[in-house]
Amino acid sequence: MRGKQGSGKRGTTRRRIKPSTVLIAAILGIWGLMILYPFYNVVIVSFMTEKEYVRTAFVLFPKELTLDAYMRVFSNARIWSGYRSTLLIVALGVPFNLFLTVTLAYALSKKSFPGKRFFNFLVVFTMYFSGGVIPLYLLVKDLGLMGSLASVIVTYGVSVYYMIIIKNYFLGIPDSLREAAQIDGANDLVIMLRIYLPMSTPVLATFLLFFLVDRWNSWYEGMLYLTDAKKWPLQLVLREIVATSQKTEPGMAMGLLAKRENFGMGIKMASVVVTMAPIMVAFPFLQKYFMRGMTMGAVKE
């Protein structure tokens, strides 16, 4: 069915591009545009003048561009404090994640040692069962971390899922290297630092990036543990900006009329851009590392 469509038209061209190829490329292209358009819209609205937006909210090419919304976003102290919190969480949290996860992965990648099965079970069990929100909340309270950025940093430590992928990578490093080093008198710590880690730098880079994104995007822990809004990470600040500009939209049923009356929209969109800009700018260059991590997780042998 699919192959037949338009076969007369394109099938006879000199390069012999199959009609089904055209169809597939078209479907994938449209899906790509459907993913891009909402981002384009966000960026456009963030640069639009209030006047033009109020007249027609749906614009593909605005006539006039302005930085008004960005000026107001950057004069908002909350955005700056959000950036500061998020950067602190990333700077302290990512090394914390990497250290705990990689050391565990290395230890559990050793072929056999007394208690290995027990420790392995102890670690993996946490993926299947957890105490849930409230017990963790009470623990954070008991530890006296409530209201401190430390609560957000410390409650995300080992990622068992990433640990397993890193461990599987370590398992692929030939044992003979370990044995040779052992004969030379190296202990497991030296072997980790001198052999395993240097041989895994691309993998470590990949998971550094994964942790970085996880940290950048975290908001839930902050919402639970950070009582003082001045300490909120960027994502949570954004959540609030979005929520407050929605509040001025009275009665969802009147949406059509109501939204025109306020210009939270430009600020809302500029805040979104400011929050996702670092990932958006860096992503095209880093995508291959992320994909490698995902592929490693899928293919074990």
Build a one-symbol-per-residue string for 49-88: x at contacts with another protein by CB under 8 A, - elsewhere: --------xx------------------------------
Q: What are phi and psi of 65, to 5 degrees?
A: -115, 145
Q: Which is nearer to another protein, 74 or 220 (CB)?
A: 220
- Checking 189-195 for CB contacts under 8 A at 24+ apart, the result is 192/103, 192/106
Q: Which is nearer to another protein, 100 or 173 (CB)?
A: 100
Among 293, 296, 233, 301, smallest CA distance to 84 is for 233
134 touching another protein, by CB under 8 A: yes
Size of the site for another protein (CB under 8 A): 98
Q: How far is CA 117 from CA 109, 110, 161, 206, 300, in A?
A: 11, 11, 17, 28, 20
**Which range of residues in 7-15, 75-83, 102-110, 144-152 is near another protein by CB under 8 A?**
102-110
**Which range of residues in 68-76, 96-104, 144-152, 169-177 is near another protein by CB under 8 A?**
96-104
**Which range of residues in 7-15, 74-82, 144-152, 247-255 is near another protein by CB under 8 A?**
247-255
Site for another protein in 16-35 (CB under 8 A): 18, 20-21, 24-25, 27-29, 31-32, 34-35
Q: Which is nearer to another protein, 1 or 77 (CB)?
A: 1
Least distance between another protein and beta carbon 78 (Å): 14
Least distance between another protein and beta carbon 259 (Å): 7
Q: Are 217 and 235 in contact (CB under 8 A)?
A: yes
Pick one of 6, 74, 95, 99: the residue that binds another protein (CB under 8 A).
99
Beta strands in the chain (DSSP E): none
* Amino acid in position 49: T
Q: Is 250 in a helix, a strand, or coil?
A: coil
157 touching another protein, by CB under 8 A: yes
Could you give the count of Cα atoms lying within 13 Å of 213 in the half-sphere of its Cβ? Answer: 13
Site for another protein in 168-227 (CB under 8 A): 168, 187-189, 192, 213, 217-220, 224
Q: Are 104 and 163 in contact (CB under 8 A)?
A: yes
- Write the CB contacts of 170 (distance below 8 Å, at least 6 apart in sequence): 105, 106, 109, 196, 200
